[in-house]
Structure formats: structure tokens, C-alpha cells
Amino acid sequence: MHTLFISDLHLSHQTPIIAKNFLTLLSQQREKLDALYILGDLFEYWLGDDGITPLHQPILESIKYVSNSGVPVYFIRGNRDFLISAEFAKQAACEILEEPVVIDLYGNPTLIMHGDLLCSDDHAYMQFREQVRNPQWQAHFLSLNMEQRIEMAKQARDVSKSATKEITMDIMDANQLTVEKYMREFDVTTLIHGHTHRPDIHHFKLNNCAMKRVVLGDWGDEPSYLMVSEAESTLVDPRYKA
């Protein structure tokens, strides 16, 4: 038995192979799981729980099937699906966790996050994040009709794509000092997150203690996930070389 961590599937109408791989993974793993953690950006975008479409239903039903089989399922919002709320949680039968959060992973206190909070060098994104996570901004956005929300989301993606061309990949990666700050604050030696699309396992020392940061990968033609049991931890991603 093991615990499964995934993130950054970015499901949309344009990614049927990813949806298929996700459903297959859940089917294959369901009876082997102690828990499932989805660390954000399950969807390419989420415009509100009132915008659930037929695209979403097989995904929600498969997650619910896992949960109903006795496996607890936890979800952390990402930078693409930060508007996921109670109706999603109800239909998927999962629990939404507010990040950052420490979990007991087979006796090892472990910090889990989506990961965008770690990218503190990307000042423009951090300002944008603060804006869209504001409850007043969200209430205004959700008061708009769906056509207006789609247009706003499109404009935001266009701005993001333009801005991304002007900054280096390092700026969009996790800042090591920020990583250390969170790990000190929450008194952990293990951190698991996604967001950066750079699957890897980083080992370093902090205050003479051995620390580990596991970065989940984004999904392409093949899935990316972390399996943790009492005995071992395995990062499965075609780009990761142990």
C-alpha cells in the first residue's frame, strides 16, 4: 500500500490522452492506495463550480469512485484552478486543503503545496496571485456570466504568455531561500510540490539536517506521479533520472 501524489495535469478539451491516462491510473491504483493527493492544476482552467461541463464529469466521477472505495482524497488548489470550491469537493467526494499544510506521511511530517508560493522571484506573478486569491476579487469574478469569465480568463492567459517570454526559467522556478523558509517555519525535512514542471528530487542540508524536496512533473503523453510507502518513495516521470 502507498500514498499517491499528482499535480499539473492541466486537463482540457485539447488533452484527451492525459484524461485517459489519469482515469487509467486511478483504476490501476485504487485498491493499492492509502490516500490520494492532487496538488493543484488538475484542470487547465476553472471558471467556477457552476461551470462544470461534460468534460469534467468523468474526472469527478472517477475521483469519487476512489473516495467511495475507502481511499481519502485530498485536493490543493493550483494557480489554474484556484476557484475550485465546495461543489467540486462534493461531486468528487474529496477534501480541499488550504496550503501550505503538513501531513503525517507514514510517521514523517511532510509539507505539501501546489508550489507557486515558492516562486518568489517572479514578482509580477506573485502580485497577480495575491489579487486573484482575494475573496472580493473572486466574488466579483463569479458574479459575471460565463461568457464574461471566459473572456477575462483568455485575456489573463494572453498577458501571462507575453510576460513569460520576457523572463528567464530560473525566475519561474522555486527560490531556494523561500523553500528553506517554509521548511523551517513548518519544522519539516520533506517538502512535496508541483507547479514548476521540473520533476526532480532535491537533497540539501539545512541547519545540519538532511532535507528533501520532491517536485512533481506536469503530465504529457505519459503520467507523472509520486508513490510513497512506509519503505520507499518513487518518483515516476519519463524525464526524471534517479
Residue 139, H or E segment: helix 135-143
pLDDT digits (tens, 9 = 90+) for 38-71: 999 999 989 999 988 888 999 999 999 999 999 9
Whether residue 242 lies inside any domain: the answer is: no
Q: Are 45 and 79 in contact (CB under 8 A)?
A: no
Whether residue 145 lies inside any domain: the answer is: yes
Number of domains in the chain: 1
Query: Is the whole-model pTM more than 0.85?
Result: yes
pLDDT at 155: 84
DSSP of 43-96: BS----GGG--TTTHHHHHHHHHHHHTT--EEEE--SSSTT--HHHHHHHT-EE
For 97, which DSSP code? E
Q: Quick one: average pLDDT of 18-22?
A: 95
Mean pLDDT of the chain: 92
User: Does residue 209 sit in helix, strand or coil?
Assistant: strand
Residue 75, pLDDT above cutoff 80: yes
pLDDT at 161: 67
Whether residue 241 lies inside any domain: the answer is: no
Whether residue 55 lies inside any domain: the answer is: yes
Range of the domain at 49: 2-236
pLDDT at 168: 55
Q: Using CB atoms within 10 Å of the CB of residue 101, give its burial: 0 to 12 exposed, 13 to 18 middle, 19+ buried.
A: middle
Angle at 157 between CA 152 and CA 162, to 5 degrees: 130
pLDDT digits (tens, 9 = 90+) for 110-144: 999 999 999 999 998 899 999 999 999 999 999 99
CATH code assigned at 45: 3.60.21.10
Which three three-digit cell numbers place residue 175? 527560490
pLDDT digits (tens, 9 = 90+) for 148-198: 998 988 887 777 666 565 555 666 799 999 999 999 999 999 999 999 999
